[in-house]
Amino acid sequence: MNGHSVSIHSLFQEESATLLLEEKSLSDIESDAGRADIESRFTITGTPFHHRKFLKPKATWHSLIRLTSNLRSTLLRIVIFLLPSFIQPLVTSSIPKTNHHEKPKKTPGPTAYLDGMRGLAALIVFFCHYFYTCFVIAQSYGYGSSNYHILKLPIIRLFYQGPPMVAVFFVISGYALSLKPLKLIRSRNYDSLLKTISSLIFRRGFRLFLPTFISTLMIMLLLRAGAYEWTRDFAYDDKYMRNVQEIHYQRMNSTAEQMADWGREMFRFVHIWDWDAYEGSTAIDVHLWTIPVEFRASMMLFLTILGTARLKTVWRFVFVGAVMGFIYRSARWEMVLFYMGMVFAEWDLVRGLHHSPCSPPSGTREGTAAYQLEKKTRTTRRPPPIRLRSLGRPILTKAWWIAVSILAMYLMSQPDQGGDETPGWVTLTQWIPKWWYAPTKYQHQLSSCPTPQEDENEQEEYFFGQGQAQYRYYQSLGAILMVLSASRSLFWQKVFNSAPIQYLGKISYAIYLMHGPVLHIIGYAIERFVWMNITGVETDTAYVAGFGLASLLVVPIVVWVSDVFWRAVDEPVVRFGKWLEGRCTVSMDGLM
């Protein structure tokens, strides 16, 4: 592992050979002389017989030992790589480290909590797609006569409700993509702004689509290997899949046909010409519909940042607000969320969140005043007297943002179905503007949609033919308020900055890409084994017990595979995008 095992072994062999020479007897030396005489008689083409490779036992033995050691080292590296990243330090802690020093632990940055939010949201999306195959989760508590389980109550239901987590994704994406350009705008560094925007646009496609190309190609290879076939009947069995039956992609007659089909699907997947929310979706993995949406919304966001770069801060807020009003009236919920992320990013810059407390911030009057106040506080010898009124303000502020977050989580709990008949949502649903959920071309197709048991080529239209939906209205508003309250609440920042949540943030994109194929191949197999051999499905209690027992294996396996994909694919893709940009771009001096 550390590069010393082979050299130490070779040294040991050399020392052993020296000792053997020193311990030779007289008869051994005479034997060597006799062998020299034999070699002089049986020399072939000028080469002594014992020099031929197949009769060099010592060299062959050394080569075999070296090959075995290298093979063992390679296998050990592969095994360690396949371990989850949080387990690797426990395994490698006993290995001496001579070439590098222990890296100091990094303190979370001012926006690290957003990474944690994104990771937790990705896990909840996985839970949603795992739960909805077996249970009706779109309806909330009190709807109809059968929805009175405690897990369907508002806020509690958020741990498996996927759609509001997609809204959280979009707000965070708008924030993350806007932050650096807005910093440069506020510092009037337009040269660096051009370079940053150019880099973001160039690498965005690679960042979003290249990992999905690889994940869907893996699905194609697994299809050819027959991995999807052993759960195909189970995937469409009403006895076990009692709610949503996701598309279990078809296996073609030949590898060439399968690869050609993958190429066509990927061509359709990179769909930037239609702004319908579900255009560009692929039946290979039905969960990936948000990726083209992310790309289109990102490009629109970059255009807006460039267009407002020279505006004063106030007028930029006014202009972006006007654009958001137009987008809201157009029911483009995803763009509203992206723009709100941009607004939050500049708002945080205005209040000096991203300035170092040890150096004067530049570019804003507010930041300079905050710095001067902090500097004055640090240089004061005697602390200011404590006033009861000043003690009450932080408590009220904390209570306010906790209250806002509770309201946000309630709004995010808006039921996906039946909100107009669900207690607590009837009036709120009536307040949703009619134009928000106007029928689209896809909604008109619902009456003729095939059942999941019919032709798989038609199932994609069935699955994605939802059109615009009412539930996006309050779920989007709740996501906006949740991100806002998290940026103001130390309590939520501590939660999202905790080590487990930050780990989920690192592998969030990998979870999003991997949970689908892992569920279809491994998850379904585990569920089938548990239900058929352990719990049965004759009663609801047995069915739920089997699902819970299977979850104890399925959830860790999804996280494990996502961890490996993150290190093997996701991180290298990011490095590849940066490398390719460096190889293809010219210096800024040539542009100015």
Please check whether residue 524 is in contact with residue 234, taking contact to mean a CB–CB distance below 8 angstroms: yes
Per the structure block, which two tokens stand in for 277? Answer: 């929310």
| Residue 552 amino acid letter | L
Q: What are phi and psi of 47, to 5 degrees?
A: -115, 120
How far apart (Å, rounded) are the C-alpha atoms in residues 203 and 142? 47
Run of H or E including 309: none
pLDDT in tens, 280-335: 789 999 999 999 999 999 999 999 999 999 999 999 999 999 999 999 998 899 99
Q: Answer yes or no: are the C-beta atoms of 167 and 155 closer than 8 Å.
A: no
How far apart (Å, rounded) are the C-alpha atoms in residues 104 and 297?
37
| Segment (H or E) for 558 | helix 540-565
Token pair, residue 254, equals 């030949």
* Element holding 93 (H helix, E strand): none
Which pair of structure tokens corresponds to residue 399? 């209570």
Sequence-distant (≥ 6) Cβ neighbours of residue 103 within 8 angstroms: none
- Which residue from 344, 343, 336, 338 is spatially nearest to 174, judged by alpha carbons? 338
Residue 315 half-sphere exposure toward CB, CA atoms < 13 A: 6
> Residue 214: which residues within 8 A CB-CB, separation 6 or more?
569, 573
d(CA 429, CA 420): 6
How far is residue 172's CA from residue 513's CA, in Å, rounded to a whole number?
18
Task: Output 14 or 584, whichever has higher pLDDT.
Answer: 584
Task: Give the tens place of pLDDT for each residue, 364-391.
Answer: 444 444 444 444 444 444 444 444 444 4
pTM: 0.78
The one-character DSSP state at 141 is T
- Cα 494 to Cα 11: distance, rounded to the nearest angstrom: 53
Is there a contact between 219 and 259 (Cβ–Cβ < 8 Å)?
no
Task: Report how many helices (DSSP H) and strands (DSSP E) the chain contains, helices first.
Answer: 23, 0
C-alpha torsion sign, points 497, 555, 281, 460: negative
DSSP state of 44: B
The count of other CB atoms within 10 Å of the CB of residue 367 is 20
pLDDT tier at 58, thresholds 50, 70, 90:
low
What CA–CA distance (Å, rounded) separates 424 from 157? 14
Rounded Cα distance between 542 and 533, Å, is 12
Cβ burial, residue 509 (10 Å; 0-12/13-18/19+): buried
Q: CB neighbours of 18 closer than 8 A, spacing ≥ 6?
A: none
Residue-averaged pLDDT of the chain: 81
Q: Which amino acid is at 574?
A: V
pLDDT score, position 404 = 96
* Least confident stretch, 172-181, 219-228, 352-361, 407-416: 352-361
Alpha-carbon distances, residue 208 vs 173, 200, 288, 296, 353 (angstroms):
12, 12, 10, 11, 28
- Residue closest to 200 by CA, chosen among 304, 277, 271: 304
CA proximity to 371, closest of 394, 382, 383, 355: 355
Residue 124: left (phi > 0), alpha (psi -120 to 50), or beta?
alpha
Give the pLDDT of residue 476: 96
pLDDT at residue 43, as a whole number: 44
493-552 tens-digit pLDDT:
999 999 999 999 999 999 999 999 999 999 999 999 999 999 999 999 999 999 999 999
Q: Among candidates 251, 244, 213, 229, which has minimal Cα distance to 513?
A: 213
Q: Which residue has the higher pLDDT, 357 or 133?
A: 133
Pair of tokens at residue 520: 């279809």
CB 506 within 8 A of CB 533: no
